[in-house]
């Protein structure tokens, strides 16, 4: 089922081109201009600042389509930066768009977006524009849209991250996922960094739940301790998602990686050491199929009897489990299919550090280092 | 605190706060109105959100002759009409396969034998390890018989080991202190208190839960939250509806039992209680109980002075003519059941000494609104507050529980211009406008809490009895009263003139809502 978050209740006015110094004046116009009173928003309730970094116009266009959904859920001042290194321009230009809730008598503003474009000669000035436009007393999140490990962006990322309490990125479709994963994990593990979130970690939430539920000691006594093999299959671009899933499993079950290798397939496998044995983990990429985790197979024993749990993606937001050797039924769990906008909107108010993600990422890094 | 029977390393640290146990929910009265309007839509929404365990099933149990298919149709109808999410065909297919039905009379041992067989079959099919939650959505008069049958049939597991057994009981628990004690004693014969969840859906509302956050998460409020700074508190629960189809129940209950004893006292407890030292269920419930025990008793002549009861007469609501209470279907023509109560109460503890709490609730009032308003003391009569003719409006913090959940603060501000003119400004915060997401509805949240074993939002036995003990003083005074006079208020008005006099006698007025 589609995620219920909707942008239908939000209407946008703009964009209006404006000089950087006139942005605040333009955003305040609905409250101050007598001719703007009719139908103008009469209240503004914002929860935070959202700084978004894109590299190309196409990325910016995608984000603009998602903004209504995001601000309907997380009313915010959005600073949408297009840091286009391919452009030789030394200019910075800006435009503003105001979002407000439709259907409410007072039509409160729930978002305002300042789009700022900078060519290669102006990128270094972007952080100064951001500093001037952030709203005080509100949390700031940096969403790194462009598909690269944010720390690889150098000074632009360093300066923007210093302003943010949270950094959101998406390792989906990274071009060199293992090396980039190591770079990000090193940065996350470096201390003093903001709260960090990878959308690829949030996506397989349903997998976390159904695996945790199915192997619960109340239902499958001894299953955790007796795991001898785990095999994860994923579709294109979902390697880090599968990797983090394996990292989570290994971290929570206290496994230590002993070595790994890359096999044709492409397939990666590791040998682990656990308190009870030496489980093996394999991650295999399927050439076709949805860009998601496709299946997880867990070979173990329940009450001493061999059991294989087969978790299968049946469709968007649907995962089933069949416990071969334990039961003759297939059970399912369904959850909303979350668009990228919905994932970001739900992550934004999550200001607490996700220790589970950080630990899973740390183990995933160790796993990556054994095969690099 | 969320219960964990056996440690599951994979659930630790997951973003989901409540980890529901795999279980079967047995709805006694599964063919009824509450089931269709609230419970089944709540389960459907939880399922859509992926919040129910994979090993989960629902079994309806009621006297109506029905099979699984008819129960699923009943559920579908309820979901189509009342669910906050529209029914999705693809998801319905999966959800409906977990719905089952057993017909049977609640006092018939054979029916329970049949229920047991069906439960065992369902549990085998869904891999549910015998965990069961029994939702008693049935008239109070049948509760004892059901509990006895559950006990005799061996449906209830040990609270400390083995599968989970829990029971959910709807409010009101009893109709006075004696009957509440009786029901609680009967419950205790079958279920341990840790297995008993007395549900009051008000406590599942987001804004009610937010009272604790607002009070104890904002350092500007708590220092002012006491008799030194608060002039008085007003609690209003106004309903537009008349008695509707609930005349049978309401004739026996009345507004005091229906609203004050449970919803209002629970909200009052959250507003006035001392800070608990942790959010553990027992600590929060201890704090609420301590507050209820501080309520100054209202008995005898106090009731005449501090309590007003009334009944709605014919009138107009939203421009439409509506009948008086005694003309409603199922209501006695000479009924003296109160549909409105206004009262003044005091909390005899250090924090609230001398601060009056004004409470009003009624049916057929002009609009549906529930709010708690804390009115602060006025600033001294110097500087801007020197004119007796036009005193400054005092600050008011109003917590709106429904509709348009949120809160507002009334502050004084200077009007622009050369003269110093002061004008009240209302700073309004609405959840809907700020947080766009539609959160879990009360029943969704509370059902999830039961499956996860979190009793924080449920009423404990001692608190229920403390609330009844306080209310019973009024009931007894009314019972003993020789007066047959019951003030009437026209439907669509804010209550009788006697209620206005009650608060105006103290130099205060009811808030305009």
Q: Is the dihedral of CA A228, A233, A238, A239 positive or negative?
A: positive
Query: Measured between CB atoms, which of B7, B127, B433 is closest to A219?
Result: B127
Query: Measured between CB atoms, which of A47, A213, A217 is closest to B53?
Result: A213
Best of A334, A337, A345, A346 to disrupt the B interface by mutation (most B CBs within 10 Å)? A334
Higher-pLDDT residue of A191, A137: A137
Q: Name the residue with tokens 């500007």.
A: B220
Express each pLDDT in A216-254 by its tens digit.
988 899 999 999 999 999 998 888 999 899 999 999 999
The whole-number pLDDT of residue B159 equals: 85
Q: How confident is the model at residue A37 (pLDDT cuts 50, 70, 90)?
A: very low
- pLDDT exceeds 90 at position B207: no
Interface contact B50-A214, CB threshold 8 A? no
- Residues 239 through 268 of chain A touching chain B, CB cutoff 8 Å: 249, 252-254
| B438 half-sphere exposure, CB direction, 13 A CA radius | 14
The whole-number pLDDT of residue A170 equals: 94
The CA distances from residue A68 to A41, A98, A201, A346, in Å, are 16, 10, 23, 14
Tell me which range, A244-258, B236-250, B340-354, B426-440, is most confidently predicted by mean pLDDT.
B340-354
| A352 half-sphere exposure, CB direction, 13 A CA radius | 6
Q: Rounded to an integer, what distance in angstroms lies between the CA atom of residue B513 and that of residue B510? A: 9
Interface contact B8-A214, CB threshold 8 A? no
The whole-number pLDDT of residue A90 equals: 84
- Render A317-356 in DSSP notation, one character per residue: TEEEEEEETT-S-EEEEE-PBPPHHHHHHHHTT--S--HH
Q: Rounded to an integer, what distance in angstroms lies between the CA atom of residue A184 and that of residue A149? A: 6
The whole-number pLDDT of residue B4 equals: 43
Q: Rounded to an integer, what distance in angstroms lies between the CA atom of residue A205 and that of residue B448? A: 18
Q: How confident is the model at residue A31 (pLDDT cuts 50, 70, 90)?
A: low
**Strands B315-317, B196-199: parallel, antiparallel or unpaired by DSSP?**
unpaired
Q: Rounded to an integer, what distance in angstroms lies between the CA atom of residue A366 and that of residue A243? A: 11
Query: Measured between CB atoms, which of B13, B91, B437 is closest to A355?
Result: B13
Express each pLDDT in A89-113 by its tens digit.
888 999 999 888 776 666 677 889 9
ipTM reported for the complex surpasses 0.85: no
Paired with B403 in beta bridges are none
The contacts of residue A126 (CB under 8 Å, 6+ apart) are: A81, A83, A92, A116, A118, A156, A160
Residues of A in contact with B94 (CB under 8 A): 318, 332, 334
Q: Rounded to an integer, what distance in angstroms lies between the CA atom of residue A167 and that of residue A162? A: 10
Task: Give CB contacts under 8 A, 24+ apart, made by B244-248.
Answer: B245/B329, B245/B330, B247/B328, B247/B329, B247/B330, B247/B331, B248/B330
Closest residue by Cα to residue A114 from A96, A133, A136, A135: A96
Query: Average pLDDT, whole number, for chain B?
Result: 90
Residues of A in contact with B7 (CB under 8 A): 217
Interface contact B48-A104, CB threshold 8 A? no
Please report, rounded to a whole number, the percentage of residues in chain B having pLDDT higher than 70: 97
> Taking CA atoms, what residue in A is nearest to B84?
A4
Write down the pTM of the prediction: 0.84
Interface contact B433-A104, CB threshold 8 A? yes
Q: Is the dihedral of CA B146, B148, B151, B154 positive or negative?
A: negative
The CA distances from residue A320 to A172, B353, B476, in Å, are 23, 59, 59
Residues of B in contact with A216 (CB under 8 A): 6, 8, 11, 22
Interface contact A331-B54, CB threshold 8 A? yes
> Taking CA atoms, what residue in B is nearest to A71?
B436
- pLDDT exceeds 90 at position B324: yes
Q: How confident is the model at residue B426 (pLDDT cuts 50, 70, 90)?
A: confident
Query: Average pLDDT, whole number, for chain A?
Result: 87
- Residues 353 through 372 of chain A touching chain B, CB cutoff 8 Å: 354-356
The whole-number pLDDT of residue B344 equals: 97
Q: Rounded to an integer, what distance in angstroms lies between the CA atom of residue B150 and that of residue B105? A: 13
- pLDDT exceeds 60 at position A299: yes
Buried b (16+ CB within 10 A) or exposed e, A150-188: bbebeebbeebbebbebbbbbbbebeebbebbbbbbebb
Residue A86, burial from CB neighbour count under 10 angstroms (0-12, 13-18, 19+):
exposed
Q: Rounded to an integer, what distance in angstroms lies between the CA atom of residue A213 and that of residue A276? A: 21
Q: Rounded to an integer, what distance in angstroms lies between the CA atom of residue B148 and that of residue B107? A: 9
Interface contact A219-B437, CB threshold 8 A? no
CB of B357 within 8 A of CB of B344?
yes
Give the minimum alpha-carbon distance from A333 to chain B in angstroms, rounded to a whole number: 5
Query: Measured between CB atoms, which of A213, A332, A335 is closest to B22?
Result: A213
- Catalytic residue (one of B74, B201, B232, B263): B263
Give the minimum alpha-carbon distance from A82 to chain B in angstroms, rounded to a whole number: 27
> Taking CA atoms, what residue in A is nearest to B161?
A218
Q: How confident is the model at residue B256 (pLDDT cuts 50, 70, 90)?
A: very high
Q: Rounded to an integer, what distance in angstroms lies between the CA atom of residue B7 and that of residue A138? A: 38
Paired with A119 in beta bridges are A84
Express each pLDDT in B106-145 by its tens digit.
999 999 999 999 999 999 999 898 999 999 998 878 888 9
- Render B288-348 in DSSP notation, one character per residue: HHHHHHTBPP--HHHHHHHEEEEEEESEEETTEEE--GGGSTT--TT----SEEEEEEEB-
> Taking CA atoms, what residue in B is nearest to A109?
B433
Q: Rounded to an integer, what distance in angstroms lies between the CA atom of residue B389 and that of residue B380? A: 15
Q: Rounded to an integer, what distance in angstroms lies between the CA atom of residue B212 and that of residue B284? A: 10
Q: Give the three-class secondary structure for B60.
A: strand
Interface contact A249-B10, CB threshold 8 A? yes
Residues of B in contact with A219 (CB under 8 A): 22, 55, 127, 129
Give the minimum alpha-carbon distance from B48 to chain A in angstroms, rounded to a whole number: 6
Query: Measured between CB atoms, which of A4, A101, A254 is closest to B433?
Result: A101
Q: Rounded to an integer, what distance in angstroms lies between the CA atom of residue B287 and that of residue B277? A: 9
Q: Rounded to an integer, what distance in angstroms lies between the CA atom of residue A298 and that of residue A281? A: 9
Interface contact A321-B16, CB threshold 8 A? no
Interface of B to A at Cβ within 8 Å reads 5-16, 21-22, 47-50, 53-55, 85, 88, 90-91, 94, 125-127, 129, 428-430, 432-438
Query: Measured between CB atoms, which of A75, A110, A219 is closest to B55?
Result: A219
Q: Quote the tokens at residue B21.
A: 């146990």
Question: Which residue blocks in B172-324 are alpha helix, DSSP H?
Answer: 177-190, 206-216, 247-255, 265-272, 281-293, 300-306
Interface contact A104-B126, CB threshold 8 A? no
Interface contact A212-B14, CB threshold 8 A? yes
The whole-number pLDDT of residue B18 equals: 67
Residues of A in contact with B91 (CB under 8 A): 1, 334
Give the minimum alpha-carbon distance from A119 to chain B in angstroms, rounded to a whole number: 35
Interface contact A212-B126, CB threshold 8 A? no
Q: Is-catalytic flag, B263?
A: yes
- pLDDT exceeds 70 at position B415: yes
Q: Given CB atoms, is A211 within the 8 Å cutoff of chain B? A: yes
- pLDDT exceeds 90 at position B439: no
Q: How confident is the model at residue A7 (pLDDT cuts 50, 70, 90)?
A: low
Q: How confident is the model at residue B372 (pLDDT cuts 50, 70, 90)?
A: very high
Best of A42, A203, A218 to disrupt the B interface by mutation (most B CBs within 10 Å)? A218
| Lowest-pLDDT choice from A109-113, B3-7, B272-276 | B3-7
The contacts of residue A314 (CB under 8 Å, 6+ apart) are: A320, A332
Interface contact A333-B14, CB threshold 8 A? no
Q: Name the residue with tokens 């859509």.
A: B48
Query: Measured between CB atoms, which of B21, B88, B433 is closest to A45?
Result: B433
The whole-number pLDDT of residue A136 equals: 86
- Residues 64 through 93 of chain A touching chain B, CB cutoff 8 Å: 72-75
Residues of A in contact with B47 (CB under 8 A): 334
Q: How confident is the model at residue B1 (pLDDT cuts 50, 70, 90)?
A: very low
| Lowest-pLDDT choice from A226-240, A288-302, A325-339, B55-69 | A325-339
Give the minimum alpha-carbon distance from A86 to chain B in angstroms, rounded to a whole number: 38
> Taking CA atoms, what residue in A is nearest to B55?
A331
């Amino acid at each position: 089922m589609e995620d219920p978050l909707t942008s239908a209740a939000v209407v946008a006015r703009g964009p209006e081109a404006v000089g950087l110094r006139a942005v605040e004046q333009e955003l305040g116009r609905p409250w101050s201009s007598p001719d703007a009173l009719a139908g103008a928003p009469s209240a503004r309730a914002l929860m935070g600042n959202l700084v978004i970094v894109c590299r190309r116009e196409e990325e910016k266009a995608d984000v603009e389509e998602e903004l209504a959904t995001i601000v309907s859920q997380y009313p915010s001042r959005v600073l949408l930066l297009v840091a286009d290194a391919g452009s030789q321009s030394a200019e910075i230009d800006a435009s503003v768009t105001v979002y407000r809730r439709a259907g409410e008598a007072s039509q409160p503003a729930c978002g305002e977006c300042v789009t700022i474009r900078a060519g290669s000669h102006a990128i270094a000035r972007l952080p100064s524009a951001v500093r001037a436009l952030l709203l005080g007393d509100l949390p700031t999140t940096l969403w790194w849209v462009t598909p690269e490990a944010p720390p690889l962006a150098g000074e632009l990322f360093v300066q923007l991250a210093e302003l943010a309490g949270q950094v959101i990125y998406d390792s989906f479709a990274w071009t060199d996922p293992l090396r980039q994963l190591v770079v990000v994990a090193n940065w996350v593990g470096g201390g003093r960094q903001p709260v960090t979130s990878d959308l690829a970690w949030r996506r397989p939430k349903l997998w976390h739940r159904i695996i945790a539920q199915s192997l619960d000691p109340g239902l499958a006594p001894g299953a955790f301790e007796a795991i001898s093999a785990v095999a994860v299959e994923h579709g294109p671009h979902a390697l880090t998602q599968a990797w983090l899933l394996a990292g989570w499993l290994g971290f929570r079950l206290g496994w230590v990686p002993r070595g790994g290798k890359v096999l044709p397939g492409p397939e990666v496998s590791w040998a682990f050491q656990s308190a009870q044995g030496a489980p093996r983990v394999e991650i295999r990429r399927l050439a076709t199929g949805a860009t998601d985790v496709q299946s997880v197979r867990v070979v173990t024993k329940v009450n001493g009897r061999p059991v294989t749990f087969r978790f299968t993606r049946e469709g968007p937001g649907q995962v089933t489990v069949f416990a071969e050797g334990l039961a003759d039924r297939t059970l399912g769990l369904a959850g909303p299919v979350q668009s990228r906008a919905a994932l970001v909107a739900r992550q934004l108010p999550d200001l607490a550090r996700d220790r589970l993600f950080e630990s899973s990422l740390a183990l995933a890094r160790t796993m990556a280092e054994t095969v690099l | 605190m969320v219960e964990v029977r056996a440690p599951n390393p994979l659930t630790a640290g997951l973003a989901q706060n409540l980890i529901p146990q795999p279980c079967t929910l047995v709805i006694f009265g599964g063919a009824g109105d509450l089931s269709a309007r609230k419970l089944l839509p709540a389960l459907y929404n939880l399922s859509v959100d992926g919040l129910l365990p994979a090993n989960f099933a629902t079994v309806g149990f009621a006297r109506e002759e029905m099979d699984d298919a008819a129960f699923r149709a009943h559920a579908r109808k309820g979901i189509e009409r009342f669910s906050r999410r529209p029914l999705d065909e693809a998801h319905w297919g999966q959800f409906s396969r977990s719905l089952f039905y057993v017909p049977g009379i609640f006092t018939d041992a054979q029916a329970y034998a049949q229920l047991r067989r069906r439960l065992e079959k369902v549990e085998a099919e869904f891999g549910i390890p015998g965990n069961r939650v029994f939702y008693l959505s049935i008239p109070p008069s049948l509760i004892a018989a059901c509990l006895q049958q559950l006990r005799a049939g061996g449906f209830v597991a040990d609270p400390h080991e083995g599968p989970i057994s829990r029971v959910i009981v709807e409010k009101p628990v009893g109709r006075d202190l004696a009957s509440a004690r009786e029901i609680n004693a009967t419950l205790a014969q079958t279920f341990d208190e840790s297995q008993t969840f007395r549900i009051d859906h008000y406590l599942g509302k987001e804004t009610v839960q937010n009272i604790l956050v607002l009070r104890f998460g904002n350092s500007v409020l708590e220092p002012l939250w006491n008799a030194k700074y608060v002039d008085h508190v007003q609690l209003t629960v106004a309903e537009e509806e008349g008695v509707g189809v609930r005349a049978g129940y309401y004739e026996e209950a009345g507004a005091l039992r229906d609203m004050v004893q449970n919803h209002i006292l629970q909200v009052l407890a959250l507003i006035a209680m001392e800070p608990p030292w942790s959010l553990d269920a027992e600590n929060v419930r201890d704090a609420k109980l301590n507050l209820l025990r501080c309520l100054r008793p209202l008995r005898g002549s106090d009731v005449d002075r501090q309590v007003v009861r009334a009944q709605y007469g014919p009138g107009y609501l939203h421009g439409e003519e509506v009948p008086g209470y005694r003309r409603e279907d199922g209501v006695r023509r000479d009924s003296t059941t109160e549909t409105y109560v206004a009262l003044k109460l005091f909390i005899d503890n250090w924090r609230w000494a001398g601060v009056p709490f004004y409470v009003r609730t009624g049916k057929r009032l002009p609009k549906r609104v529930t709010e708690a308003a804390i009115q602060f003391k006025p600033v001294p009569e110097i500087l801007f507050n020197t004119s007796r003719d036009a005193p400054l409006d005092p600050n008011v913090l109003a917590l709106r529980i429904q509709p348009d959940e949120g809160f507002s603060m009334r502050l004084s501000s200077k009007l622009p211009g050369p003269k110093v003119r002061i004008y009240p400004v209302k700073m309004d915060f609405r959840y809907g406008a700020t947080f766009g997401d539609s959160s879990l509805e009360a029943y969704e949240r509370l059902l999830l809490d039961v499956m996860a074993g979190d009793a924080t939002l449920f009423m404990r036995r001692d608190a229920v009895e403390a609330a009844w003990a306080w209310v019973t003083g009024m009931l007894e005074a009314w019972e003993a009263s020789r007066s047959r006079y019951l003030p009437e208020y026209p439907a669509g008005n804010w209550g009788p003139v006697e209620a206005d006099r009650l608060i105006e006698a103290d130099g205060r007025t009811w808030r305009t809502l």
